[in-house]
Structure 1
C-alpha cells in the first residue's frame, strides 16, 4: 500500500511539474492563444501588394491584411469597405495579361491592368460564371444560367450561343392520362356535341399555326440532369457541357438533439457505400449545325475488363458488361481545333485521357491508366473527375500526371503521333504543376528532396533539369507575382507554424520574413522537433515515423502510438502538422515521460502508389501491422515496457485503434478511438468503394476490414469518443458498436459523447474534455500497477 501511495505522489509531482508549462486545458483552448498565421495568400494584379488572411488584433475571425512590397516591414489591415471593392483574384486574363475579367454576382467587369481602370460591361438576369477571352480577344465568353453567351467589346453586342433548358421537352411535359382519365375524355367527346366541335376547332387552329409559323430555334432539354461545366471552344464552333444526374438513393439521417428550436431535428446527409447512383455524361453542342449529341465512350479500350478481385468469387456470375464511365475535364487546345477529356470508370480502376471528335462525339484513347486497386495520387484526382490535364502552346502536346512508374509524375503526349514522354522521374511525387506565362517553362512543387519536404522548382517546357527555387527545409507553398519576378512563400517547419516570406524568383536570392505571428505564450515553450525515423516492418518494408523522446529524468518506459486520419494524408514530415493539437499533446506526453510514435502507415500519402494501395481490400491489415511493428520497435530500441503501450487516433485513426484493441490485445494495453468508423458498409461511397469495392460485390473485404466483427477480441481498456452530429462518420457507428460490446458482456470500455460536435470538433471545451479523458486513460492504465 505504501509503495502505491508513494508512486501516486510521484506521478502527481510529474504532472504538476510538467503542467507549469503545458496542460490539456492550455493546448486545447481556442487556437488564437498560439498567435496568428497567414493563409489564402494572393498578389494584386500589379505585383505590388500581397494580400492574406490574418488576425493580428485578436478579432473574432481572420481579416484581410496586406503588405506592400516596397515597404515589406509594414503590415496593414485592409478596411472592410476597401476590401469589398478590391479586384478579386481570378485567372481570366488576355494573352499578354494586360486585361482581366471578373464577375460580381450578376455583373461582368473588365479590368485594364495598365490603366488601373475597371469597367462594368454587362448585367444579366442571373449569375454570371467562368468569363474568358476567346481567340479573338475582342470577344468574351461566359455562362449565365444553363447557357453560353458572347459579348463583343467593340460594339457591346450580346449573343446567346446555346439554348439549353432544364426539364423535359414540351411534348413530354403533359402528364400521361390514366386509363380511367382517357375513358372519361372519350366518353365526354362522344356524348356532348358542343365539346366535340370545340375540340375539333382547336385542333385545326393548332395545325394552321404550325404551318404558318416560323421555324422554332433549336433547343436542348436536359431532363432530370443538372447542366454543369459549360465550356466554349476558342474558335466558337463548339461547346461542351456535363449532364450530372443524381439518383434517388436513400440518404442517412443524423439527429441533432440540441437544435436551437428545442426540438430534435434531422440532418439529411449522405448515402452509404454501394448506393451511389450519380452519373456524369458529356454532350457536344455543335454551334455550326445547331444540334447537341452525347459523347460516347464505347471505343475506349478495356471497357469490359473485369477487376481481378472477381476471381475470389468463382460461384458468382461475373458476366462482362460495359462499365459506366464519368466523362469530365474538357480542355480545348489554344486554337480550338481539338479537345481532350478525362474519363474515369465508375469503379475507379481505369482512367483514360481521350481525344474528343466534335463531329460525332466519339472518343479516341490517348493514354489508359489502369490500377487493380484504385486510380488516385497527386494530380490524378478521384472518380468524379479532376486531375492535371491541359495543352502546351504548340497545340499538339497535352500534359497530365500518371502513377505509371509507381510515383505521380508529369507527362506530355503528342496527339499527332501518340508519343508520350515523362518530364519528371524518380522515387518522389509532383504537385500542382503549371506553365509559366510565356509557355516556355514549368513551375512545380515536388518531394524530390525527400518525402518529408516540399520545394518549388522550374523546368523547361519539354523537360530537362529541374532548378530548385526554394531553400528553407520544410514546406514551401509558393505564390508567384503576376510578372513572375517574386515568390511569396508560405513556409513552416516541424515546430514552427506557418509564416510568410518574400523572395526574388532566383535560386540564390535570400528569403525575407514578412510575418511573425507566434504569441509570447506559445513561443515561451521549447516545442520539440520530432525525430524522423524508419523502422523495419514484418514484411521488410521501411516504415517512416515521427518519434518524441522524453528526457532521461522523467522517462517512464511507457509509450503512446498516434494514428493519423486518412482520406489521403501524410503526417511524418518536416512542416507544421495539420494535427497541431495532437502535436502539442505529444509534447505534453513527452514531458510526462511517455515516448510517442506517430507512424505514416501503409495507405498514407507521400510514398507512391504501392504504399497508397497496400490497404486495398483489407483495411486493418498492413496498416494495423505497421502499428504492431512500431510497438516492437519501441520495445527493442526505446526500452519500452511491453505492458505499457497505448494507442489512439481519430477518424481512420480511431478505426485502426479499434482494430488494434480487438485484434492485437496482447500488444496494446489501452486505446482511445475518436470519431471512428466501426463498420465500413456504413461509410460513404466515394472513399470506401475505391478501397473495398462494393459490399454486395466484395463482402469478404468488408468482413475483414470492419471492427464491429472483431469486438469479442477486446482485452484492454477502451475509450470511445464521438460527436453526435457527425455527418461524416455517423454517431450510428459507435451506437451499433456499443450494443455489440454490451451483448458480448465487455465491461472494460467507456464512451464519451459530444452533442454539439461534427466530425471535426470546434468547441475548445469539447477538445479539452476529450483529451483529459485520453490522458486519464493512459495515466491510469499504463502507469498505475493495475495488472
Structure 2
C-alpha cells in the first residue's frame, strides 16, 4: 500500500512537527520531522533521538512562564526558557501530581497516600489529608479509578475451575445448583437449559459438571500518622479521584466498593509455546454486579469530613420506561423507592477556586447531570440534566466528564444532545442561564478551548455527514469559521501557539498524507508526504464508490455507498458489507483506517462482476441521537431493516437479482450477518459472519447494558436481539470465522451457536477457527485464509 504518516505531534515551542513514517519500506518505521518553513521531511537519527530533550508534561502557571514537573520522584519548578529548575521536595518517597494554588504562592502535591502543600519562597510544608487504610481490601491509588472498570472490562473474580467428569461434559454454574450464584448467573444457567437439549439430557442423567471459583485477594497495608488530625477512613474500599481545590481549603475524594461475585470468562489458548493449554482470564458478562462509589469532602480549615449528598439530584429515583413492561419488577422497584447508583467525576474547579462543578452519571446511563458543588456543605445544585430513555452518549459526552471546562470563573462549557445532535453549550454557574453555541443536523467532536479562552476549535461534519472539517468559533457564539478546505477526512493537530495546523488528510480511495497549513480560513494546505500509496497501489484504478442517501421505512435518512461492476455477472449478484463496532461510521469521503482491507476486497468483488453495498445503518456514528440510539432494546431491528431497504434499491436501481444477495462483516457486522440469514432469508441467501456476537447476554456490560439493559431485568430485549434464538431460520449458506483467543467476543459465543445449529440439524454452515488470533486478526496468513473462504462462499452461492 505504501506508508501513511501517523502519530503526528508538535514540539512544545511549535517549531517542529513530528510524525512516524516509513517511505522506504524498511523493517520498522522511523521518526521524522518538518518545520512550517521547511516542509521536506527529515529523518531523526538514533543519535539525535537519544539527545532530544524528554518531553515535559508540566503544569503551567497562569502567565505560561513556569511549569511544575515531577522528576525522579521529586517536585520542581521549571523555567522552560532558561531551563532553570527549582527543587521543592527531596525525599525518598515519590511526590507526584503537582498543581498551583489559586494565587500561585503554594504548590500542592501527592506523597504516598496523602496530599501536601508547600509555601513557596522558603515557607511551610503542610499535610492536607490523613487517609487511613483499613479492612482486608483497602487500596489507595492516587490516580482516578474509572467506575465499573471491573465489571465492564476485566475480571476481579479469580480463576474458575473448569468442570470435571468425562470428556465432553458440559460446564455448569457454581456447584450446578440452579439457585446458586447471583441473579445474573442464575439467569444465564436457566437460559442454557432452555436453549440446549443436550444440557437438559445430561442434567437429568446427573452428569452435569461443576465449577469452583474464587476472587483475587486485594492487598492490604497498614498506615498511621503521629500528628493528630482527622483520620479519613478508607476501610475496605478503593480510594481515588483526589482533587484539591485551588485555594487549598477542600480536598474531595471518592471511595469505591468493588463488586463481589463477578465471575470472569476464561479463554483457553490451545497453541502455546509451552505445549499445554493455557487459560486467559477475560472479562465478565453483562449483568455482573457493578462497583459503587461515594464522593466525600474534607474541609482542611475545619478539619472535618462529610459525604457529597445525592438526594438533591433531580430524578435520582426515576425508573426507566422499559420497566413498565414488567409489572412485578415495576411494583418492587416503585415500592423500594431507592436512589439510583451514580458515579461522580470532578469536581472541576474554576481558576479562582470559588466554583466547583461535578459531572454525575447514573449507573443505568439514562441520566447525566452537571451539578454545582457547595463544598462547604457537600450539597449539589443542578446546572444541566440530560435524560435519555435509551442511553446517554454521543461525541464529547462521557460519564468520565467529556468535553468540559471553564471559560472564566463563572461560565462552564459542555456538550449535550439536547437538540438531537451533540453541540456546545455554556452555563453561568451563578445564575443557571444556559446558552447553546452551535446548532444544526451535524455533530461537534474534538472540542478544544484556545489559549486565550476566546475561541473554540473543533471538528464537525457540517457540510456532509461523511466529510470532516476543522472549525473555529468565538466562545460568545456566532457562525463557525471553517479552517480546512480539502474535501474528505481532515485530522488536525493544532500547534501549541495556535498559528499552524498539521493535517492528516485522505479521500475515499486515497490513504492519508500529511499537510501543513496556517491557522487561517482559506489558507493553502501544503502537502508534506507523498508515500501513502506505493507504485503497486497506484497501478490499480481504485474506485471511489458512489455515495448516496435514501429514506428508510421509518422516514430517516440513511447513507450508503455502492461499488458498481463494469461487467456484471449473468446472475447479477450483490454483496453487502456491514461495518462493525456498533457506533462507528463507514460511509465517508475519507480513507478508512479500520476497513482498508474490506475496501480493497470490495473493489476486487466489483471487478469480478458483483455489485457491492455499504451503509451507515441505524446505530452508526455521525448522524445524531435518534440514529445513535435507534437500536435500543432491539439489535437486529431497525439496523437490519435498513439493509433490507437498501437491497431493494440495489434491485430497483442497479439491476441486482434479489435471489443472489450475500452479506459479510465482523464483530457487530458478524452479528448483523447472522440476524440477516436467520430472520431475513428471503433477502440474504449467503453470509460470512466474522468474530460475531451470537448472544448478547454473553457480551460485556459496558457496551451491552446501555443498549439492552440487563438480561435479568429486560429479558425481552435480549431474546429479540440475540441470533442464537433465531438459528432455526437459517436457509442460506453460512460461513463463520472466529479467533480462538478472542478476549472481546469470546470463542465460546460461536461454539454455543454451533451446538444450537447441530441440535437443529442444520447442515448448511461451516466454522473456520483461528487458534492464534484474538478479535482483531494480526497474522497476514489468517487474513488471507479468511478472505479466501469468504470469496469461495460467494462464488459458490451467488452465481446461480
**TM tier, shorter chain?**
0.7 to 0.9
Separation in 2 of the partners of 1:270 and 1:469?
A: 43
Q: Distance in 1 between matches of 2:134 and 2:470?
A: 48
Match of 1:350 among 358, 367, 374: 367
Counterpart mapping for 1:423-502 below 5 A:
423-502=437-516
Question: Displacement, 1:591?
Answer: 1.4
State the aligned residue count: 708
Is 1:540 aligned with 2:584? Answer: no
Matched, 1:762 2:778: yes
Once the two structures are superposed, residues 561-618 of structure 1 have per-residue CA deviations (whole angstroms, 9 ceiling, x without a partner) of 0111124211111111121111111111111111111110001111000011110100
Shift, 1:662, TM fit: 0.4
Aligned twin of 1:693: 709
| Structure 2 partner of 1:255 | 268
| Aligned residue in 1 for 2:9 | 42
1:448-471 Cα distance to aligned partner (Å, 9 max, x none): 111111111111112112111111
Are the counterparts in 2 of residues 567 and 687 from structure 1 also a CA contact under 8 Å?
Answer: no
2:406 counterpart (376, 380, 391): 391
C-alpha distance in structure 1 between counterparts of 2:402 and 2:464, whole Å: 23
Pairwise CA distance, 1:280 = 3.1
Q: CA deviation at 1:674?
A: 0.5
Say yes or no: does 1:268 pair with 2:284.
no
Closer/same/farther in 2, CA of residues 310 and 122 from structure 1, 3 Å limit: same
Q: Does 1:300 align with 2:282?
A: no
Q: Given the alignment, which residue of 362, 368, 383 partners 2:385?
A: 368
Deviations 1:140-197 (A, max 9, x none): 33334432234555438655422224433999xxxxxxxxxxxxxxxxxxxxxxxxxx
**Preserved CA contact (<8 Å) 1:555 1:592:** no
Aligned residue in 1 for 2:254: 242
For residue 270 of structure 1, give the secondary structure of its aligned residue in structure 2.
strand
Q: Equivalent residues in 2 for 1:150-229 (5 A)?
A: 150-152=117-119, 154-155=121-122, 159-168=126-135, 216-229=228-241
* Cross-structure match for 1:602: 618
Q: Distance in 2 between matches of 1:105 and 1:258?
A: 42
In structure 2, how many angstroms separate the alpha carbons of the residues matched to 1:484 and 1:117?
Answer: 26
For 2:92 and 2:610, how far apart are their aligned partners in 1?
Answer: 64
| Structure-1 residue corresponding to 2:296 | 283
* Cα pair 1:140 1:150 within 8 Å, conserved: yes
Structure 1 residues 479 and 664: alpha-carbon distance in aligned structure 2, compared to 1, 3 A threshold: same
Question: Any idea what the Cα deviations from partners look like across 1:289-347, whole Å, max 9, x if unmatched?
Answer: 23332212111111111111111112433323211111113210110111101101110
8 Å CA contact 2:568–2:611 kept in 1: the answer is no
The match for 2:658 is 642
Q: Are residue 54 (structure 1) and residue 69 (structure 2) matched?
A: no
- What's the CA shift for 1:410? 0.5
Change (3 A) 1:39 1:107: farther
Partner of 1:94: 61
Q: Kindly state the Cα deviation for residue 708 of structure 1 after the two structures are TM-superposed.
A: 0.3
Distance in 1 separating the partners of 2:616 and 2:528: 33
- 1:530-582 deviation digits (Å, cap 9, x = unpaired): 21111232223221112111214768621110111124211111111121111
Deviation of the 1:103 alpha carbon: 3.8
Q: TM-score, structure 2 length as denominator?
A: 0.85
- Kept in 1, the 8 Å contact 2:137–2:236? The answer is no
Q: Deviations over 1:243-268 (max 9, x none)?
A: 23321211111111123222211111
Q: Does 1:313 align with 2:326?
A: yes
Which of 557, 560, 570 is matched with 2:572 structurally? 557
* Alignment correspondent of 2:35: 68
Pair 1:589–1:141, CA change in 2 (3 A): farther
- Which of the pair has more CA radius of gyration? 1
| SS of aligned partner of 1:633 | helix
- Stretch deviating more after TM superposition (477-486 or 635-644): 477-486
Q: Secondary structure at the match of 1:228?
A: strand
For residues 648 and 299 of structure 1, the distance between their equivalents in structure 2, rounded to whole angstroms, comes to 50
Residue 586 of structure 1 is matched in structure 2 by: 602
Deviations for 1:727-782, whole angstroms, at most 9, x for unmatched residues? 11110100100000000000000000011111111111111111111011111111
> Residues 21 and 29 of structure 2 are in contact (CA less than 8 Å); yes or no, is this contact kept in structure 1?
yes
Distance 1:66 1:675 in 2: 39
CA contact 2:505–2:515 (8 Å) conserved in 1: yes
**Contact 1:380–1:388, Cα closer than 8 Å, also in 2:** yes
1:428-452 superposed Cα distances (whole Å, 9 cap, x missing partner): 1111222111111111211111111
| Distance change >3 Å, CA 157–CA 782, structure 1 → 2 | farther
| Offset, 1:527 | 1.8
Alignment partner, residue 676 of structure 1:
692
Alpha carbons 1:532, 1:546 under 8 Å: kept: yes
Distance in 2 between residues matched to 1:619 and 1:638, nearest whole Å? 28
**Alignment match, 1:193:** none
Give the C-alpha shift of residue 61 in structure 1.
Answer: 4.3
> Counterparts of 2:494 and 2:280 in 1: how far apart (Å)?
42
Helix, strand or coil: the match of 1:607? coil
Q: Is the 8 A contact 2:582 2:619 kept in 1?
A: no
Q: 2:586 aligns with which of 571, 581, 598?
A: 571
What SS is found at the alignment partner of 1:222? Answer: strand
- Judged with a 3 Å threshold, the aligned counterparts in structure 2 of structure 1 residues 42 and 102 are, in CA distance, closer, same or farther, namely farther
Question: Structure 2, unaligned stretches of length 5 or more?
Answer: 139-224
Q: Which shifted more, 512-521 or 414-423?
A: 512-521
TM-aligned CA distance change 1:292 to 1:46, over 3 Å: same
How has the CA–CA distance of structure 1 residues 276 and 521 changed in structure 2, closer, same or farther, with 3 Å as cutoff? farther
Shift of 1:639: 0.4
Counterpart in the other structure of 2:752: 736
- 8 Å CA contact 2:571–2:660 kept in 1: the answer is no
Give the distance between the partners of 1:81 and 1:692, measured in 2 at CA: 53
Q: Which moved more, 1:127-136 or 1:429-438?
A: 127-136
> How far apart in 2 are the matches of 1:526 and 1:170?
62
User: What RMSD, in angstroms, separates the aligned Cα atoms of the two structures?
Assistant: 2.4
Query: What is residue 137 of structure 1 aligned with on the other side?
Result: 104
Structure 1 length-normalised TM = 0.86
| C-alpha distance 388-170 of structure 1, shift in aligned 2 (>3 A) | closer
Q: Secondary structure at the match of 1:269?
A: strand
